[in-house]
Structure 1
Amino acid sequence: MALPLQNLLHLSVCLVILTSVANAQNCSNCFVHSRASYYPNSHEKGTDHGACGFGTFGATVNGGDVSATSGLYRNGIGCGACYQVRCTNSKYCSNNGVTIVITDQGSGDKTDFILSEHAFSKMAQTADAAATLKSLGVVDIEYRRVSCSYPGKNIKFKIDESSNYPSYLAFAIYYQQGQKDITAVQLCETQSFTCKLLQRSHGAVWTKTSPPSGPLSIRMLFSNGDEAEDTWVVPVNAIPQDWKPGSIYDSGVQVN
């Protein structure tokens, strides 16, 4: 039996709404609406005491366009992820906004991001507009996940100063690239090819008590939540046998 025209129209509207909601939920490239504030400091850039464990690297990576975040921190998995963030007031804000790197954890007044002052200002069209945005303190924004890109840079491993050769190894991963998260890390002996999963200590810092002797290979699992697309990245270069706290070692690899 044919439905009345009024019922058909109602059904069509419902289908359009449901389709739109489904598309929004499945759209990895869509913008999400939120709010952002900033934390001022003497250099207008990041902090060298962030929860991600990046140290001084976290203050200057990406030219200082960095941010603390609340929910996107995800117990440290979000450390090193990149987002395009743009404020939504067309009178002051640019269309492109700013691309930031997550280096810290923090929350403000219903905000997802606490940007460095440097990054907060870059959302504006002009220097005068930037001053206006900073006077507001908190602004409406929209954001989306984007690929991290560091031209000419390989992924690097910074041996944390808390490490104690040869009994305890801790390191942070610098220059995380692409649009996937590093969700697991293996430490492998280069002679026997025996690998063990490491524990995430905090943020982007991974640790191992009684690490193997000899040169070590650190392998990273890049994931976007779809197991079929998970990828283990195997560095070209090994960490030398006599690794030292505070040293930075080049993996020899880049990730698109």
Structure 2
Amino acid sequence: MICQIEKCSILAICFLILLPILCSCDGIGVDTSVTAKASFYGSIGHLVKPSGACGYGEYGRTVNSGAFCGVSKLYSNGTSCGACYHVKCKHPEYCNEEGTDVVVTDSGEENAEFILSFSAYAKLAKPLMVAKLVAEGEVDIEYQRVPCKYATGAHLMVKVHESSKFPNYLAIVLLNKGGLSDITAIEVWEESHKQWKSMVRIFGAVWAVSDPPKGALKCRFQVRGSAGVVWVQPKKLIPSDWKAGILIDTFIQLT
């Protein structure tokens, strides 16, 4: 009997230790802040301009009023593209208390988890302290995943990527991901075979399929979030005469 009680006690302790891990989303809970290093594009040792590893193009340089970033370990082969994080500097002399929100549009570098756009980095500073913070080049921060804030009514958008070649190669990139969710798979419907055909993540947020089905395309997205993993299907189709650069409104808002 004593042994059984001891076993139960050990199991209870293990459960309490593992509970925060089991309840977290992508290893970082919504209410959990994590410490890291942050720098900015153009600082010593970092690129002058973002490479845009997510494949967003001009959208990636203007989204969120230019407050974007590259991330290192969080990049996760592009899964974090479009995710939003609240970043707050921990240098009390130069930094304000508010911090700022940034959108992931690029991969980062090993020596700093976050590489911020200059405008985002400047938003960390107290009034008249931007130059001092810039001179630091790199600062300690704390960050946490937050819902993306786009214009009221902004929907998830599908853009036919510039690498697409009609009708044999279709590549798409998703914009305005929103919420706290990640898109982990995309499929298109093959009417001739009555089955879904998987698209492949080429890089960042760009997904592609060779020899796509003919005609208007029905697609669906696998979404991972607080509700688990679900499939979401927009009512609007990718038009049969799709071409690089067109935008399709899915009328979906991820949470």
Please give the TM-score of this superposition, normalised by the length of structure 1: 0.82
Question: Could you say what secondary structure the match of 2:240 adopts?
Answer: coil
- Residue correspondence of structure 1 range 129-168 to structure 2 within 5 A: 129-150=129-150, 151-168=152-169
Alpha-carbon distance, 1:51 to partner: 0.7
Question: Could you say what secondary structure the match of 2:39 adopts?
Answer: strand
CA distance in 1: counterparts of 2:170 and 2:126, whole angstroms: 46
Question: Could you say what secondary structure the match of 1:230 adopts?
Answer: strand
CA distance in 2: counterparts of 1:48 and 1:144, whole angstroms: 22
Deviations 1:4-28 (A, max 9, x none): xxxxxxxxxxx8xx96896488551
Alpha-carbon distance, 1:102 to partner: 0.7
Alpha-carbon distance, 1:218 to partner: 2.4
Q: What are structure 1's unaligned runs of at least 5 residues?
A: 1-14
CA distance in 2: counterparts of 1:116 and 1:57, whole angstroms: 14
1:87 is aligned to 89
- Residue correspondence of structure 1 range 107-186 to structure 2 within 5 A: 107=109, 110-126=111-127, 128-150=128-150, 151-186=152-187
Tell me, yes or no, if the aligned pair for 1:52 and 1:105 is still in contact at 8 Å: yes
CA distance in 2: counterparts of 1:93 and 1:21, whole angstroms: 35
> Given residue 231 of structure 1, which amino acid in structure 2 is its aligned partner?
V
> Given residue 132 of structure 2, which amino acid in structure 1 is its aligned partner?
T
> Given residue 89 of structure 2, which amino acid in structure 1 is its aligned partner?
C
Question: Could you say what secondary structure the match of 2:81 adopts?
Answer: coil
1:31 is aligned to 33
> Given residue 240 of structure 2, which amino acid in structure 1 is its aligned partner?
Q
Deviations 1:138-170 (A, max 9, x none): 000000111113222111111111111111000
For residues 138 and 186 of structure 1, do their structure 2 counterparts lie closer, same or farther at Cα, with a shift above 3 Å needed?
same
Deviations 1:111-155 (A, max 9, x none): 1000000100111221x1222111111000000111113222111
- Residue correspondence of structure 1 range 100-111 to structure 2 within 5 A: 100-107=102-109, 110-111=111-112
Alpha-carbon distance, 1:219 to partner: 1.2
> Given residue 70 of structure 2, which amino acid in structure 1 is its aligned partner?
A
Alpha-carbon distance, 1:49 to partner: 3.9
1:234 is aligned to 233
CA RMSD in angstroms, aligned pairs only:
2.5
Deviations 1:67-109 (A, max 9, x none): 011111101111111111110122222222111111011215x
Alpha-carbon distance, 1:178 to partner: 1.0
> Which moved further from structure 2: 193-202 or 165-174?
193-202
Tell me, yes or no, if the aligned pair for 2:42 and 2:49 is still in contact at 8 Å: no
Q: What are structure 2's unaligned runs of at least 5 residues?
A: 1-12
Tell me, yes or no, if the aligned pair for 1:54 and 1:172 is still in contact at 8 Å: yes
Please give the TM-score of this superposition, normalised by the length of structure 2: 0.83
1:211 is aligned to 212
Q: Percent identity?
A: 39
Tell me, yes or no, if the aligned pair for 2:50 and 2:106 is still in contact at 8 Å: no
For residues 24 and 207 of structure 1, do their structure 2 counterparts lie closer, same or farther at Cα, with a shift above 3 Å needed?
closer
Tell me, yes or no, if the aligned pair for 2:181 and 2:254 is still in contact at 8 Å: no
CA distance in 2: counterparts of 1:21 and 1:219, whole angstroms: 34
Question: Could you say what secondary structure the match of 2:129 adopts?
Answer: helix
Query: How many equivalent residue pairs?
Result: 232
